[in-house]
Amino acid sequence: MNIDGPAARKRGSSIKHGKEKALETIGILGLGYVGLPLAVEFAEAGKRVVCVDVNAQRVAELRRGESYIEDIPSARLQAVMDRLDPTTRPAGLALCDAVVICVPTPLTANREPDLSPLMSAATELSHHLQRGQLVVLESTTYPGTTRERLAPVLEESGLQVGVDFHLAFSPERVDPGREDHTLRNTPKVIGGLTDACRERAIELYGTVCDEVVPVSCPETAEMTKLLENIFRSVNIALVNELSILADRMDIDIREVVDAASTKPFGFMRFEPGPGMGGHCLPVDPFYLTWKAREYDMVTEFIELAGKVNKQMPYFCIEKIERALNEAGKPVKDARILIVGVSYKAGVGDLREAPALKIIELLRERGGDVRYHDPHVPELPQFGLRSTEPGDCDLAVIVTAHPGVDHGAVIDVAPSVLDLRGVTRARRDAKVRQL
């Protein structure tokens, strides 16, 4: 690979085969929470979209016009089906003017980056890569991945990055369930391996994003995404740790946060809770801690935040045990209703959801656990199905879905532990807060 090192990051380069064609056919590799919404956006912008995923069930559902992503209603998907080509076969990517990679970037069991889905996707793409194509990576990863890992695999095609094809990194900024900030109105950060790569990526995203934010290189774009998530992780960890201290001091942490939030400068509100969920916050910061070791640095702040947040379900178990003890009941055989099991309100996403850990810990202690969540009909790993709030010894509000009547939960349960502060205004004596 000829484009390498800090000096090369500033060197512009152009594709040498003449005037480039318009970006009319787009390939999406990976059709999850990032890839499918992106595919639909491009289709709504009039592009033809080749949608590739290794999951045959997903592809079959898409061909039937059925969406498995809550942010994309089936009706919206069906409106653009004539411009979508869902398939498990990557050969169709050869017909695309641009290909966007949106595959998972998880952690291994040892909490280290697992790039195997990305490397597999890159290898498949290299077999079909064409001269003049643009390739963009959106999957969150550590700085250097696009240049040091992705580019060499793509160049196994015999084509040279920056000369025969374009390559850029543009981090996804998807927040499932959010309607005020969408792909269209959320600024899009873009870093290319060359100036021409960046400009070609700007051309692509300009069709579906109102604002693009060009940066000097892929490494800056990769680091930007990690900073965004680490900022949230560290601040959530801070307020979570303070919530544990405030509990011991018999101080209402949410009243403290409310009061601090009245300061019009120098303070940003973060809420305490049962732990972090989703793909981003529990996973992404550890991509940077792993990379930092290469530079003889231990990112103590990041790792401490991860440790604090990961311990929050255990603190919640302690609160549950105390609530039951006050009623003269042990956890064993206690009927415990978990209200809300997805990782955030308004969606059914279970990735890294704290409620799953809480259920696991309660079951280990002999608790008779059931749950209520209108967004999650069943938890097959526990053999449970969502049930209506009813007879129980303790109801624990873990995720506060907007469509759930939490007042009704208080009415039917003899005791309630609210881990989200959604019932504070009621000030009921049988409700305990985090």
Dihedral sign of CA atoms 343, 347, 351, 357 in order: positive
CB 412 within 8 Å of CB 390: yes
Task: Please give the Cα distance from 9 to 287 (Å, whole number).
Answer: 22
Cβ of 124: how many Cβ atoms within 10 Å?
Answer: 18
Backbone angles phi, psi at 219, to 5 degrees: -60, -40
Task: Please give the Cα distance from 224 to 369 (Å, whole number).
Answer: 41
Active-site annotation holder among 102, 280, 316, 392: 280
Minimal CA–CA distance to 348: which of 422, 276, 272, 277? 277
304 CB-near residues (< 8 Å, 6+ apart): 237
| DSSP E strand boundaries for 193-324 | 212-215
Written in H, E and C, the secondary structure of 82-142 is HHEEEECCHHHHHHCCEEEECCCCCECCCCCECCHHHHHHHHHHHCCCCCCCEEEECCCCC
Please confirm, yes or no, whether 51 is among the known catalytic residues.
Answer: no
Backbone angles phi, psi at 176, to 5 degrees: -50, 135
| DSSP E strand boundaries for 292-400 | 335-339, 368-372, 378-379, 384-385, 394-397
Residue 181 CB-half CA count within 13 A:
9
Q: Mind telling me the catalytic residues?
A: 280
